[in-house]
């Protein structure tokens, strides 16, 4: 028996969250030629060159055994005499990412947020503003997923009294205080997330959400050794893989499947995983806003299912019209 795309669109049966974890590779894949202004997306191994920080780094007088920016920052952070350079470095990173903008046309990030429902979550390790900007320009028309910021973000700030999270530069709607920008940089050896109140709350939420997720998609996050503490927190939340025999684990990454399988082995139950090198081949892009229903039909009911791929070449008016049909069904179900 086959479930058609039309039947999938009209089916709302899964209330558990789909959790997407974003890393730098997602932004790099979305903007290989840079942002709206041509600013390039740096990775940790080329961030110094991309941001033009060579002279600032040279002023430290230190010798670095790695080109990885996190390693370089950790070495500088250890030297109390370099606090002025460290603060200048932090300001430059904030400035560069803070000036980035989405192109005017639909992007992978627009497609991603439109393809998930408000029961779903995106947890991002990225500093760049693209996810928040995509939520902002699509959120007036659609109910979109909730977002968690695991490493801070240039677009996001929070009330020091814990009232709310909002846009950087805004004031708290409850107490009127200017929201506090989130911290971006931590020494590699001291990523003690529990010491930062905002980050700690974000991690507590993602831990709770992962326990209830039916599917996890890892998009462009390589699980670097510098993030060992983060990986351990994710693994603890996911639990024993023998207790996740029905859940599905999806990886969107350009690395070889064998390499990815080894990296994420603690999260994968037997054959319950899939690897795609392109976002548009993913479960999300082929079953937008119905990832749970497609999962149920194929993996629980053992039915053949038809794909319903999102219109990746559409402009915004056409794209919003296409997604409106999906949300109309959701609205009728009052979800």
Asked if residue 243 belongs to a domain, the reply is yes
| 80 and 199 housed in the same domain | no
Q: Are residues 51 and 193 located together in one domain of the fold? A: no
Kindly state whether residue 175 falls inside one of the protein's structural domains. Answer: no
Residues 296, 232, single domain; the answer is: yes
19 φ, ψ to 5°? -110, 125
Judged by average pLDDT, the poorest of 129-133, 219-223, 225-229, 319-323 is 225-229
CATH number at residue 8: 3.40.50.1220
What tens digit of pLDDT does each residue of 67-85 get?
A: 889 889 989 999 999 999 9
Alpha helices in the chain (DSSP H): 5-9, 24-30, 47-50, 54-58, 69-77, 83-98, 108-114, 130-138, 197-212, 228-238, 257-263, 283-286, 291-295, 316-332
Task: Report the alpha-carbon distance of residue 307 to residue 164 in Å, rounded.
Answer: 39
Supply the range of the domain harboring residue 23. Answer: 2-35+105-151+186-332
* Residue 240: exposure state from Cβ atoms within 10 A (0-12, 13-18, ≥19): exposed
Q: Is residue 162 part of a domain?
A: no
Residues 216 and 284 in one domain: yes
Answer yes or no: do 84 and 113 share one domain: no
Q: Could you report the per-residue pLDDT of 92-115, keeping only the tens digit for each? A: 999 999 999 999 999 999 999 999
Both 191 and 300 in one domain: the answer is yes
Residues 22, 137, single domain; the answer is yes
Residue 174 lies in a domain: no
Mean pLDDT across 312-329: 98
Q: Is residue 109 part of a domain?
A: yes
**Residue 176 is assigned to a structural domain of this protein:** no
Q: Tell me: do 111 and 220 sit in the same domain.
A: yes
Q: Which of 234, 228, 248, 236 is nearest to 291 (CA)?
A: 248
Give yes or no: residues 224 and 311 share one domain.
Answer: yes
Q: Assign residue 61 a region: left if phi > 0, alpha if psi is -120 to 50, beta otherwise?
A: left
Average pLDDT of the residues of the chain: 93
Assigned domain for 233 exists: yes
Return the percentage of the chain with pLDDT > 90, whole number: 78
Are 19 and 135 found together in one domain? yes
Q: What is the dihedral of CA 261, 32, 319, 274, to 10 degrees?
A: -10
Q: What's the structural domain count of the chain?
A: 2
- In contact, 197 and 162? CB cutoff 8 Å: yes
Model confidence over 161-191: pLDDT tens digits?
A: 877 888 888 889 889 889 999 989 887 666 6
- Residues 7, 94, single domain; the answer is no
CA distance 12 to 335: 9
């Amino acid at each position: 028996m086959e479930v058609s795309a039309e039947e999938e669109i009209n089916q709302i049966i899964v209330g558990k969250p789909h959790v997407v974890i974003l890393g730098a590779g997602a932004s790099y894949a979305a903007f290989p030629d840079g942002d709206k202004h041509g600013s390039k997306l740096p990775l940790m191994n080329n961030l110094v060159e991309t941001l033009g920080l060579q002279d600032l780094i040279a002023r430290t007088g230190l010798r670095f055994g790695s080109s990885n920016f996190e390693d370089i920052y950790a070495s500088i952070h250890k030297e109390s005499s370099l606090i002025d350079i460290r603060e200048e470095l932090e300001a430059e990173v904030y400035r560069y990412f803070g000036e980035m903008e989405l192109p005017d046309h639909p992007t992978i990030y627009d497609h991603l947020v439109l393809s998930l429902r408000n029961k779903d979550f995106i947890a991002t390790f990225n500093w760049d503003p693209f996810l928040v900007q995509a939520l902002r320009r699509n959120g007036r028309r659609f109910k979109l997923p909730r977002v968690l910021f695991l490493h801070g973000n240039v677009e996001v700030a929070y009330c020091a009294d814990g009232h709310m999270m909002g846009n950087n530069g805004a004031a708290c709607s409850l107490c009127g205080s200017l929201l506090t920008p989130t911290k971006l940089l931590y020494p590699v050896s001291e990523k003690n997330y529990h010491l930062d109140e905002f980050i700690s709350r974000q991690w507590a939420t993602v831990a709770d959400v992962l326990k209830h997720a039916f599917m996890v998609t890892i998009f462009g996050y390589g699980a670097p050794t510098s993030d060992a503490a983060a990986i351990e927190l994710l693994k603890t939340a996911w639990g024993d893989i023998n207790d996740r025999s029905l859940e599905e684990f999806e990886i969107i990454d350009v690395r070889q499947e064998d390499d990815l399988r080894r990296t994420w082995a603690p999260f994968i139950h037997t054959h319950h995983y899939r690897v795609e090198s392109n976002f548009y081949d993913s479960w999300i892009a082929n079953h937008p806003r119905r990832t749970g229903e497609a999962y149920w039909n194929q993996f629980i009911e053992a039915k053949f299912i038809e794909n319903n791929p999102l219109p990746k070449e559409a402009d915004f008016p056409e794209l919003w019209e296409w997604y409106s049909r999906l949300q109309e069904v959701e609205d009728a179900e009052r979800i």
